[in-house]
Amino acid sequence: MARAIVLLSGGLDSATTLYHAKAAGHDVRALVFDYGQRHRREVAAARAVARAANVPFEVVNIGLPWKGSALLDHAIKVPSAGVRAGTIPPTYVPARNIIFLSFAASFAEAVGATVIFIGANAIDYSGYPDCRPNFFKAFQKALDLGLKAGAGRRRVRIMTPLVDLTKADIVRLGQRLGVPFAATWSCYNGERRPCGTCDSCRLRAKGFADAGVEDPVVKRSGKTRA
């Protein structure tokens, strides 16, 4: 059984990736980041999902004092009118996946894991450049060259099982795998209920609607879909 590190944010995609990795027979450890994001709801959700999956997890605290994102700086407004195609929205966190994957690679080498799973998606997503397949291919080359495992011809592989799926496909997959959707959190705003208007809420709502599945988080909150 191969040991695997799963990057777990507490959202729909990362939770589905966690359950996918478990279903594939991996010995899974989750890695959660508290990086000064706009709210702590997603960290709490990640803990809840990991516990529901009976997976050990580590929470890593990272300070990004330079901010540069609406998810790090309350002075920058989270867009509520959708994101224009071909643009990178202010919710992009500079080099976030580079940072997260670097930590995951270090964790993997330390515990003998040979796989890193990340729930990135390049179909129904907000246009972040570090969610594209060519980025992950390039970062894989960096790991092959820069890790002790790579130098010893024992690769640490980056796996992106959701990268070419629509949000509806992800919802259907998660449903088949038994993902506890009610425990997940996708909204960029950390209020008691999901806002329903940020891009993450919109994409999540589209996925559940297209899949013909009711979102238990929306049902519980009483919010209408965006």
- pLDDT tens column, 135-193: 999 999 999 999 998 777 779 999 999 999 999 999 999 999 999 999 999 999 988 89
- Take residue 226 and report the two structure tokens written for it: 């965006």
Amino acid letter for position 67: K
Q: What is the pLDDT of residues 91-137, one digit of tens each?
A: 999 999 999 999 999 999 999 999 999 999 999 888 999 999 999 99
Q: What is the pLDDT of residues 24-54, one digit of tens each?
A: 999 999 999 999 999 999 999 999 999 999 9
Distance CA 39, CA 225 (A): 21
Classify residue 199 as exposed, middle or buried by CB count within 10 Å of its CB (0-12, 13-18, 19+).
Answer: buried
pTM for this model (two decimals): 0.94
Please state the CATH superfamily assignment of the domain spanning residues 3-180 in this structure.
HUPs (3.40.50.620)
Residue 225 has pLDDT above 50, yes or no: no
